[in-house]
Amino acid sequence: MAENKEKTFEEAMARLEEIVRALDGGTAGLDDSLGLFEEGITLVKLCNAKLEGAEQKVKLLAKGDDGNLQETDFVGGAK
Amino acid sequence: MGVFDENFGTPEKQGDGAITVTQLNEYIKSKIDGDAFLSRVTVKGEISNFTNHYKTGHFYFTIKDEGSLIKAVMFRSAASKINFVPENGMKIVARGRVSAFVRDGQYQLYCDAMEPDGIGALYFAFEQLKKKLSAEGLFDEARKKPLPKIPTRIGVITSPTGAAIRDIINILGRRFPYAKVILYPALVQGAEAAPSLIAGMNYFNEQRNVDVIIIGRGGGSIEDLWAFNDETLARTVAASAIPTISAVGHETDFTICDFVADRRAPTPSAAAELAVPETHELMHKIDNIIGRMSLLLSRRIESGRQILDFYKTQGIFAYPERMFEDRKMQLLMLGQRLETSMNTKLTADRALLAQRTAKLEALSPLGILSRGYSVAAGADGKVISSVNDVSKGDTFTLRLSDGTLDATVN
């Protein structure tokens, strides 16, 4: 698997769950288990880094020129 | 029938000066029907003795207050138009005309419209809708969806200018800024509010662009919150594929929307707290995954070791000499066979040798000597085979079978 692009938080969490399940199932070989463990640790670091650096985004749905709802930055609200 | 004159005159008297009961009641009815005030009257009171005549669809009931009562009837054409089910004890405002029912000598209110009275009316409508939807199973815990543990997109359906959105954004930003908030600006009170809230639910369900929906508003009077008791909104929320948190008004306010939503939050702030995890708690939990993985991995190693230990106690690992025993036995047997066949061969050879030796002995010169012959050999050791080989006085040796004799030629 060529995984050049970084996983999103959701993908990383989903993969983490898979890894824990695979380790829990005990079906993976020992070498594979070690590989999964290493991958898991990388993902944990990635997830935490994403959470650490998060900035809140609030979007307001407003009718665009085509009459469809579009996301616009919401100003106001939070103080 | 010509009983009355056009000016509602008195009934024609019979011979004895009496009139019939029918005539009397018809006279009374005509008097009442001729009264402009009674032809269109609005009256308020409490329903009792309510009968819904299912065959005909007519309602028969009594409207009463503390001091008095009046019989009332609402025919099917009018009864089918009211948007609530009248019940005994319900306070209502009824409109209609008063007339008399000649057969029974009863005057009564013929209602053409009726609505629940004031706050009580809202309360009744609320209770009735609640009962109806509850009977349909829309409030059942079993059909409620679990909220996502880590939603990263949160749809909010509320007023963009209210206190609710401010509170929600504050809490979400503080607890879990990673989640993106998408606000569907909705009207939250007035006649247009319910359609607007429904449109918001439909929008998110069509787009599927959020993981969880918060629908609600800040506190207000029961009338202000009324849109959240709309039946269509209730059904829309119940049918939502996206888990929904309802947060309407304050802690003590309950709306139908709260009952059908997957979770009810007492306030919009509480809804925001319910919706998302707290970032540091979540990070801690994610860190704990390492511990869990380590545990599982060491279990994996341990079970591998146990399997290894088991094999170590099995077969040739436990008794490596077994690997050689068979071969040792084979070797032994081969050795024995080798010995046996060697012996056999030796015996045969020996016999053959003896036989051949005997033959050889029969042909040997020594054998001839033993029959009395002798061999003469000169001093030089050469056999004397002719008299010419010797001269007188030569010494020679005679070999007999059991020794030699020295002799001289004479």
Task: Give the CATH number, domain containing residue B86.
Answer: 2.40.50.140
Is there a contact between B59 and B79 (Cβ–Cβ < 8 Å)? yes
Q: Using DSSP, state whether B19 is helix, strand or coil.
A: coil
Domain that holds residue B31: 21-116
Quote the pLDDT of residue B119: 66
Q: Is the pLDDT of residue A1 over 50?
A: no
* ipTM reported for the complex, 2 dp: 0.81
Quote the pLDDT of residue A54: 86
Single out the residue in B277, B297, B314 at which a domain terminates. B277
Helix (H) or strand (E) holding B264, with range, is strand B263-264
Dihedrals phi, psi of B267, to nearest 5 degrees: -145, 165
Beta-ladder partners of B335: none
Beta-ladder partners of B61: B72
Give residue B144's Cα distance to chain centre.
Answer: 13
Quote the pLDDT of residue B239: 96
Q: A56, B166: Cβ pair inside 8 Å?
A: no
Between CA B198 and CA B268 the distance in angstroms is 18
Residue B290 forms contact with A (CB below 8 Å): yes
Q: Is the pLDDT of residue A68 over 60?
A: yes
Residue A20 forms contact with B (CB below 8 Å): yes
Is there a contact between B75 and B82 (Cβ–Cβ < 8 Å)? no
Minimal CA separation from B262 to chain A, in Å: 23
Q: Which two structure tokens, joined as six digits, stand for B21?
A: 């009961």
Q: Using DSSP, state whether B229 is helix, strand or coil.
A: helix
pLDDT in tens, A9-44: 889 999 999 998 888 886 777 888 889 999 999 999
Residue B346, in any domain of the structure: no
Quote the pLDDT of residue B2: 45
Residue B38, in any domain of the structure: yes
Residue B229, in any domain of the structure: yes
pLDDT in tens, B38-59: 999 999 999 999 988 888 889 9
Residue B320, in any domain of the structure: no
pTM of the entire predicted model:
0.60
Quote the pLDDT of residue B212: 97
- Looking at the structure, tell me whether residues B155 and B250 fall in a common domain: yes
Tokens 């930055």 belong to residue: A73
pLDDT in tens, B177-209: 999 999 999 999 988 999 999 999 999 999 999
Quote the pLDDT of residue A76: 64
Between CA A4 and CA A21 the distance in angstroms is 24
CATH of the domain at B186: 3.40.50.2300
Q: Is the pLDDT of residue A77 over 60?
A: no
Quote the pLDDT of residue B246: 97
**Which residues of chain B are modeled with pLDDT < 70?**
1-9, 14-15, 119-120
For chain B, the domain total comes to 3
Single out the residue in B277, B303, B332 at which a domain terminates. B277
Q: Judged by CB atoms within 8 Å, which residues 36-75 of A form the interface with B?
A: 36-37, 40-41, 44, 47-48, 50-52, 54-62, 69, 71, 74
Quote the pLDDT of residue B8: 52
Residue B166, in any domain of the structure: yes
Residue B304, in any domain of the structure: no
